[in-house]
Amino acid sequence: MTSRPYFNKSIKELEATFANSRYDASVCARILYELGFRTTPRALKLKSEIEAATDPKPLFDSFEPAISTPSNSMPSRSEDRDMHVQSVDEASNPPIKPGPKPSVNNDPQDILRTWTALEVLAPQGYRRETDLVGGEMARLAWLKEGPLPWEVGEKSRPKKRLYYELILGTINLGPAVEALLKLYADNRPDAPSINQRAPIASVILDKDGRPLEDETSFVISSFAWAVPIALLGDLKRLADWPTQERSLVKAFREKLIHKDEDGEIIPVTKPDVDGLYSHLVDVLALTGHDISPPRFAIRRYEFFASKVPPEPSLLNSFFLDDLAKARDLARTEQLPQALKFYLGVSSPQRRTDLLQEDAGLQYLLQPALTAPGRWPGQGRFPLALLQQAAVNGTNDGLKQTGVLSVNGPPGTGKTTLLRDIVAARVVERAIVMADFKNPDTAFSPTNQTCNSSDPLWEKQHIA
């Protein structure tokens, strides 16, 4: 049962339900509750009919969805796989309103805070568990009754090292996003429909179920943290995610890693899984949201000779770390040139409208600026006039700002010109490399390593 018992019912089914149960106060309350999320003329008409036939206040008072809390036992496969923590009845709580809108300005730190808030609310969702493993069902390890997958001594694949990625619960994106859009007045005629779930957190375990000490081996969802805060009407706090993440990860690590008398990390047990999930529900304030307890882990296979363990699945926007660094640079007034222009701290001394100023277009199209290389392709047509001007505009001598924007609707050739820009960069590097008598002298060793689970990459490097 979800927080909206009639979430999947069509308006026709709701009309039939009301016709058959018009004297059942609890059923009418549930229908009214569902219609509160719908704005079609047919839904509004049905809502008016129910309100006219009944007294809505006592109806809502009689509708009290159950709230289930995390227990100390894991659900089995024979049990309901979609067991959820139920949503709190919104009708019994005072409506939440967004906080006052801050004044709009072009301060670079405010721009980056806003960007961070948007990225924090950008979850990585999935429809089916198999979506997380590329459709390979054998890589899903279900947490059913009996021993955990890493407690039975599973064997790895040939020349592979076995790890487990434990998914510590999920949140249903549909109700969460719908509640956000309802609170923040999304007036689009076609509201987005999201039928996906997103992990709340994930942890990498070795083949024996021991968590890795590296802090990068576990990750917490920024979306799961942000939704309760945003639904309280406070969007400004979302920009604090980089700081909050460090605090959350530190506390989570203390709950996750325990050592025995010999200093060895103790494998994760069923009570540990339940305790970690309960901890996340508490610290993220997820009680009352449509969430599910841990039900599965993902078998991860890495090349046996690799010294680098796998990283957790991508739960959050990969822009968040870069945005945090950019905010630090903005605070210390050390923004690089390109970012200054991008954020509006600096502006070009002169702007040229190529559609109005022929001289500017003629300058960009001069042969001296045309790249000697172009993307190969049989029977390719040459670039159009403005496409070639954009490609020529990437010339080093014209990168005064470090930022070049090319705008155009779909199908106007943006990807086509990007291929020529890539080809131009390849030719530039080839020209530089040709100046070296020995190509090896162009490179210097580093301490960085490269790891990949791609079978083709491994075959190439094993040979």
d(CA 48, CA 312): 49
Domain residues of the chain, as ranges?
11-62, 90-324, 351-463
d(CA 436, CA 438): 5
The tens digit of pLDDT for each residue in 310-332 reads 899 999 998 999 999 999 999 99
User: What confidence score (pLDDT) does residue 1 get?
Assistant: 37
Sheet strands side by side (includes 140-142): 140-142, 296-303, 160-167, 201-206, 218-220
Out of 39-48, 71-80, 413-422, the most confident range is 413-422
The tens digit of pLDDT for each residue in 151-174 reads 999 999 999 999 999 999 999 999
Q: Is the pLDDT of residue 178 over 50?
A: yes
Q: What is the mean pLDDT of residues 17-31?
A: 74
d(CA 69, CA 177): 22
Q: Is the pLDDT of residue 127 over 70?
A: yes
- 449 band by pLDDT with thresholds 50, 70 and 90: low
Q: Is the pLDDT of residue 38 over 60?
A: yes
C-alpha triplet 302, 306, 307: angle, nearest 5°: 120
Range in 211-215, 307-311, 401-405, 425-429 with the lowest mean pLDDT = 401-405
Q: What is the mean pLDDT of residues 7-14?
A: 82
d(CA 168, CA 181): 26
Closest by CA to 338, choosing from 425, 407, 397, 399, is 399
341 and 403 Cβ atoms separated by less than 8 Å: yes
Burial class of residue 80 (count of CB atoms within 10 Å of its CB; 0-12, 13-18, 19+): exposed
User: What confidence score (pLDDT) does residue 158 get?
Assistant: 93
Q: What is the mean pLDDT of residues 359-384?
A: 86
Range in 31-40, 69-78, 224-233, 270-279 with the lowest mean pLDDT = 69-78
What DSSP element (H or E) covers 12?
helix 11-20
